[in-house]
Structure 1
């Protein structure tokens, strides 16, 4: 069914990095969500009015909020697909993340309101009336919500959309919450125990959990989360397969929304290479990265000395000393400035983000260790964090 809908409503469906194609996927998800959730709201509202069960009414209004969330998805994907302009040179892709955050906020508010209603029902219970029709409606809604979860998970995985994944997670939580409502109805029918308010409270907790999960997943890229390690490895491999490239450092992946990545890195080449040939190679690598990862790429070329035996030995000695301090720390841009009375060892030290609060302390310690290696050595070290 999912493939059939995609075939009908999404043109050029494989070109997921195109803004218009992503908009089409967003419209499909939004319209399907609105249609299904409005139908579920009306059916559950009818069942809730017939039975007087607050848990069913709570579930109905949860579906209404889901329909509103689908409207937000529609608007978010439309705005995220807008092209770059002078005020937003990197495009509007992050609006998709903001729409997911708004959906999460709406889910949380709904959950809190449902909890308030359920607590009131626990304190002031009322007699319930049940029918097999209402149970049948709830069972049908579980099946439909389960399909919606799979539908949105499939679309979200296809276009790498956290907003769609959040919608799918919400649908799964709805399946669980509606199952809890059915349990409450069946217990009341069989045992005569009115646990409607308690089940309504349980439903509210699941709704709040769905909201928290959605908020957590959509806010991470807005805060600047680390790139996927697999992506980083693929970028390194793509650059390092060139014979002239000796190393890669200072790799940064900038995320400006789905399909709007920028990659920057430093590529090490021998100082003996012809500058024009090396520059041409760097240009070619940039274009290859753009084609392979559908991104913008900027590469800085770092010439390094490879045939100075003394310098290579000192660098190896320095790397072993750094590794003894912390196995996660790395050095790059190493060079030596020799003098008659002393030698400066100049390098960048890449540390973990949490180590930056000790930046001055680390710098002093490394300088002392370098001087202990040889009293002629003085370290000129720049402590920085890695971004991958």
Structure 2
């Protein structure tokens, strides 16, 4: 399963949020993520220790990593909202990509640690000595699945609303925790049915899910930091919009590139070469302003005008 990213599908709804609205959303989502994970981590750690479940303790550690992940997402989003300055004339949007890379690193380390712990128990040669998890560990796994899936949809909804790759990565961190809890549930149920080895096996399965999400987050962040073009659908929407503007007789060139969560574009339009400079300049300005208004993720577009030449 691959995280849905805002980079592949830039916002074309035409709706823009004010900086105050964005800040309010960032603060709200961060508070819910941090408070929810602290409470859930404490409950799962308590249940894992009291219920003698290594899988649940691993799950608790994963939830605790979500707290740090949300802090990093919050910092990344806030820094990316800083305007352009002398040292960063194109803005700070790529700082969100840096935050996503850090989040991916946290997931990678967390998943590897959980997997190593599970493998050590499996190959310890003392499977019969593993304790059977208690009912409280079973209840904690069910509660965790419900809560973390709800947090995933909540964070994902707002990540799409403000077009934040850092919060989208954080949302998938929540879902990876829900997957962890599903693995914990299977391991705990199996151990209680007389197969104690299923508890550490569940830890290894959890590790695989976490590592998969971490790799997907890394790939998306790197894509945004290397000036990759937008997808064909987005560029085709731009083409249709440009060709619908008065005075535009054709498109000679259209290039797009991702800059963090924003898009830059270079456009060469064809116009009537017999019109005055002021007239074709007005056409270019109309195309420029219309694009930036119609495509909220388009931070800047450079429009160049060529004289129209009929194909022979």
TM-score where L is the length of structure 1? 0.71
Question: In 2, are the aligned partners of 1:54 and 1:121 still within 8 Å (CA)?
Answer: no
- Write the distance in 2 (CA, Å) between the matches of 1:52 and 1:86: 57
Q: Contact between 2:229 and 2:257, CA under 8 Å: does it hold in 1?
A: no
CA distance in 1, matches of 2:162, 2:308: 40
Higher relative contact order (CA 8 A, sep 6+): 2
Work out which of the residue numbers 178, 184, 196 in structure 1 matches 2:181.
Answer: 178
**Cα gap change, 1:73 to 1:91, in 2 (>3 Å):** same
| TM alignment of 1:39-78, pairs within 5 A | 39-78=39-78
The equivalent residue for 1:330 is none
Contact 2:227–2:259 under 8 Å retained in 1: no
Corresponding residue for residue 272 of structure 2: 270
Match of 1:30 in 2: 30
Matching residue of 2:100: 100
- Cα distance, 1:63 vs structure 2: 0.6
Distance 1:24 1:283 in 2: 33
Q: Any conservation in 2 of the 1:27–1:77 contact (CA below 8 Å)?
A: no
In 2: Cα distance, 1:230 partner to 1:20 partner? 31
CA shift, 1:82, in A, is 1.2
Please state how far the C-alpha of 1:142 moved relative to its aligned partner.
0.7
Gaps of 5+ in 1: 1-13, 307-311, 314-388
SS in structure 2 opposite 1:249? strand
Structure 1 position 250 matched with structure 2 position 259: no
Match of 1:237 among 226, 236, 240: 240
How many angstroms apart in 1 are the aligned matches of 2:191 and 2:286?
71
Query: Counterparts of 2:83 and 2:20 in 1: how far apart (Å)?
Result: 10
Preserved CA contact (<8 Å) 2:29 2:155 = yes
List aligned pairs for 1:89-168, cutoff 5 A. 89-124=89-124, 125=126, 126-168=129-171
Task: Find the aligned partners of 1:68 and 1:287 in 2 and give their Cα distance.
Answer: 40
What is the CA deviation profile of residues 214-253 of structure 1, one whole-angstrom value per residue up to 9, with x for unaligned ones? 2122221112222133332232222212342211122122
CA contact under 8 A between 2:77 and 2:166: conserved in structure 1?
no
Give the number of aligned pairs: 294
TM-score, reference length from structure 2: 0.87
Query: 1:118: Cα distance to partner?
Result: 1.1
Residue in structure 1 matching 2:209, options 206, 209, 215: 206
Which secondary structure does the structure 2 equivalent of 1:225 belong to?
coil
| Range with greater deviation from structure 2 (176-185 or 189-198) | 189-198
Structure 2 residue 212 is the aligned partner of structure 1 residue 219 = no
Q: Using the alignment, how far apart are the partners of 2:95 and 2:287 within structure 1? A: 31
Cα distance in 2, alignment partners of residues 32 and 140 from structure 1: 17
CA-to-partner distance for each residue in 1:110-148, whole Å, 9 max, x for gaps?
Answer: 111111111111123443143222211211111000101
